[in-house]
């Protein structure tokens, strides 16, 4: 949780600093973040494969398979980051422009996006290495590394944006440069730690194709989630931009409030559930894996959901951290409260999905996101907001409905327990269970 809070704080700082310049700057960072979430999802996808195999092979004591999985996941992440870097060089301005943003937002967003995409390979290494280490049960080392990298990032963000001390005043470019520097530092440090005696892991020369196949099978639906989110964000942000730049800026502020205050806690529980279920399956204890997921979900709903109540009540004060523009504040409070209401649902979904991923089952969350985005996030917003002319209120309703539906999908799959059999079967396939050695 601490690691997630620190990582999210870095992104939140970007938005806060942008708010000192103009609503266009806030919208630029928010719109660029849509594309920035695509390498994020790819890193998460491959990272999910790495943490699933790492936790399962830790539970079964198969260190050789675990090192193979981690090494192959890191290699896959680096290679997958290269196209993003190339796109950042040639297509960043176009990417912001097609969303229908104003000229100044396009200019600022294009600069920001180009810089953060250039370091996508390093970002992938950071994401995958952290999850690989977490799979062994060590969640402190990733926290320490990311704490230092993110602290440097935050200091550089403020210094480069405003020109403090010896640094030039680079505004939005400075914010992006700070992010890029932080990602590279973290990637180098993670790689050095994995190769050091401090880590249970080590990098090896890949030889087992079955492990690469399983990494791709587990990762692909998670990466596809990112593609769906990106595709859905185009029309969703276009609708909000049609309501006004202030509305779009308010959405990114309201979303950031949730992402900073409650999402890191939910993700922390989700990671813990992933590791606990994966290690239990590796030990040949499917019943324990099932119980661990339920217990984690209950704890997440009670604790993170309670924080959602606080966010709802304090929304008017919280959004003032990001902007002083009156019109933006009004809409941002609405978005912040919509996410606050959804906090119970988000916490439940993230943990149940994390438990499924611990069993190598990543398909249900993908189905949940596709159907939720099409029928609820976009469908509700367009029908109620545009066709029936309820305006931005429809977006508030759509956010809650989307998360409610996702829980129906993943909850049904979890209770049927087929994911336990899938995880066990994949361990058999790569020879990671004790009986496979006989």
Q: Which residue has the tokens 């933006």?
A: 328
Q: Residue 333's closest CA among 266, 392, 245?
A: 392
Give the span between the Cα atoms of 177 and 34, in whole angstroms.
Answer: 18
Question: Once rounded to an integer, what is the mean pLDDT over residues 2-16?
Answer: 80
pLDDT single digits (tens) 124-178: 999 999 999 999 999 999 999 999 998 999 999 999 999 998 999 898 899 999 9
pLDDT of residue 437 exceeding 70: no
pLDDT, residue 171, reads: 86
Number of domains in the chain: 1
Q: What is the pLDDT of residue 434?
A: 62
Under the banding of pLDDT at 50, 70 and 90, the label for residue 436 is low
Contact 26, 19 (CB under 8 A): yes
The CA angle 5-294-377, to the nearest 5 degrees, is 60
Both tokens of 240, joined, read 């909000």
Backbone angles phi, psi at 369, to 5 degrees: -70, -45
The pLDDT of residue 72:
95
CA 232 vs CA 153, 257, 392: distances in Å: 30, 21, 17
Q: How far apart are CA 205 and CA 40, in angstroms?
A: 26
- Asked if residue 26 lies in contact with residue 18, where contact means CB atoms within 8 angstroms, the answer is yes
pLDDT digits (tens, 9 = 90+) for 163-176: 998 999 898 899 99
Print the domain residue range for 376.
Answer: 2-437
| CA separation for the pair 380, 372 (Å, rounded) | 10
Element (DSSP H or E) covering residue 367: helix 363-372
Angle, CA of 290, 347 and 360, to the nearest 5°? 40
pLDDT tens profile 70-86: 999 999 999 999 999 99
Are 16 and 322 within 8 A, CB to CB?
Answer: yes
Q: What is the pLDDT of residue 435?
A: 63
Across the range 330-355, mean pLDDT stands at 94
Residues of the chain above pLDDT 70, percent: 99
Tokens at 221, concatenated: 């639906």
């Amino acid at each position: 949780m601490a690691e997630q809070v620190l990582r999210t704080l870095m992104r939140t700082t970007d938005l806060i600093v942008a708010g000192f310049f103009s609503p266009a700057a806030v919208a630029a960072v928010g719109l660029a973040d849509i594309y920035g979430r695509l390498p994020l999802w790819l890193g998460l996808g491959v990272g999910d494969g790495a943490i699933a195999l790492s936790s399962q092979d830790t539970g079964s004591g198969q260190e050789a398979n675990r090192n193979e999985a981690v090494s192959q996941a890191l290699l896959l992440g680096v290679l997958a980051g290269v196209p993003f870097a190339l796109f950042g060089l040639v297509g960043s301005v176009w990417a912001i422009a097609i969303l229908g943003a104003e000229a100044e937002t396009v200019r600022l967003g294009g600069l920001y996006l180009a810089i953060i995409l250039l370091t996508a390979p390093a970002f992938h290494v950071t994401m995958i290495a952290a999850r690989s280490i977490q799979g062994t049960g060590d969640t402190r080392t990733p926290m320490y590394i990311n704490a230092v990298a993110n602290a440097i990032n935050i200091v550089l963000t403020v210094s480069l944006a405003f020109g403090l001390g010896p640094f030039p005043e680079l505004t939005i470019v400075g914010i992006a440069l700070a992010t890029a520097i932080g990602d590279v530092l973290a990637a180098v440090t993670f790689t050095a730690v994995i190769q050091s005696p401090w880590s249970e892991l080590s990098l090896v020369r890949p030889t087992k194709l079955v492990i690469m196949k399983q990494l791709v099978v587990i990762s692909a639906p998670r990466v596809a989630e990112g593609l769906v989110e990106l595709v859905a964000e185009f029309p969703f942000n276009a609708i909000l931009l049609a309501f006004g730049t202030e509305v779009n800026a308010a959405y990114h502020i309201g979303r950031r409030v949730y992402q900073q205050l409650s999402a890191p806690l939910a993700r922390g529980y989700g990671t813990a559930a992933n590791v606990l279920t994966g290690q239990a399956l590796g030990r040949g204890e499917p019943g324990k894996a099932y119980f661990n997921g339920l217990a984690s979900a209950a704890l997440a709903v009670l604790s993170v959901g309670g924080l959602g109540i606080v966010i709802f009540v304090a929304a008017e004060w919280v959004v003032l951290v990001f902007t002083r523009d009156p019109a933006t504040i009004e809409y941002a409070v609405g978005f912040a409260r919509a996410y606050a209401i959804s906090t119970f649902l988000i916490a439940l979904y993230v943990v149940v999905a994390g438990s499924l991923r611990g069993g190598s089952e990543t398909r249900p969350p993908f189905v949940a996101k596709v159907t939720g985005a099409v029928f609820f996030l976009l469908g509700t917003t367009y029908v109620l907001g545009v066709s029936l002319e309820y305006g931005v209120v429809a977006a508030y309703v759509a956010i809650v409905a989307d998360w409610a539906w996702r829980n129906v999908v993943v909850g049904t799959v979890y209770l049927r327990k087929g994911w336990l059999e899938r995880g066990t079967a994949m361990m058999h396939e790569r020879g990671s269970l004790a009986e496979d050695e006989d």
